[in-house]
Structure 1
Amino acid sequence: MASIDLAKVLDKAWADKSLPEILDAPVGALKGVSDRDGELLQEAFGIKTVRDFAELKYVRWAQALAALDATAK
């Protein structure tokens, strides 16, 4: 299983939290995602948490397309 450096993907305030806490955190817990970005994601897609964002069908579709492209190379 691949590991991830949480300090590289999370805002400093969230880097030492447990995985369940991170998944239930607002999307602003992700490094580079502002509170305003979180508001816009909620308005557009009903996204409130990191888990919601990860489960968004459009994100999954984009990941699947990128994976197909990677296997074609």
Structure 2
Amino acid sequence: MASIDLDKVLDRAWADKSLSEIMAAPVAALKGVSDRDGELLREAFGVKTVADLAELKYVRWAQALAALDGAR
């Protein structure tokens, strides 16, 4: 299982939250994602939460392509 440094990927306000709280959080809980970015993701793709972003088919497709590219 891969590990991740939550301090590097979460906004400071979310650093002490449980994983279930983080997954239900707005995407602005991710470091570098503004409230406006979150609004645009919601308008464009219906993404409201971190979990929604993780499940977004375009994100999964891009990850699969990157994995294939890394296999070269």
Query: TM-score, normalized by length of structure 2?
Result: 0.98
Residue identity opposite 2:6 in structure 1: L
Report the Cα distance in structure 1 between the residues aligned to 2:33 and 2:45, rounded to whole angstroms: 15
> What is the CA-CA distance between 1:57 and the residue it aligns to?
0.2
> What is the CA-CA distance between 1:56 and the residue it aligns to?
0.2
Identity of aligned residues (%): 82
Report the Cα distance in structure 1 between the residues aligned to 2:20 and 2:60, rounded to whole angstroms: 20
Unaligned runs of 5+ residues in structure 2 are none
Corresponding residue for residue 43 of structure 2: 43
3-state SS in 2 of match to 1:68: helix
Report the Cα distance in structure 1 between the residues aligned to 2:7 and 2:15, rounded to whole angstroms: 5
Give me the CA root mean square deviation: 0.4
Report the Cα distance in structure 1 between the residues aligned to 2:52 and 2:3, rounded to whole angstroms: 21
Matches within 5 A, 1:1-73: 1-72=1-72
Report the Cα distance in structure 1 between the residues aligned to 2:15 and 2:46, rounded to whole angstroms: 25
Report the Cα distance in structure 2 between the residues aligned to 1:2 and 1:50, rounded to whole angstroms: 18
3-state SS in 2 of match to 1:32: coil
Unaligned runs of 5+ residues in structure 1 are none
> What is the CA-CA distance between 1:32 and the residue it aligns to?
0.2
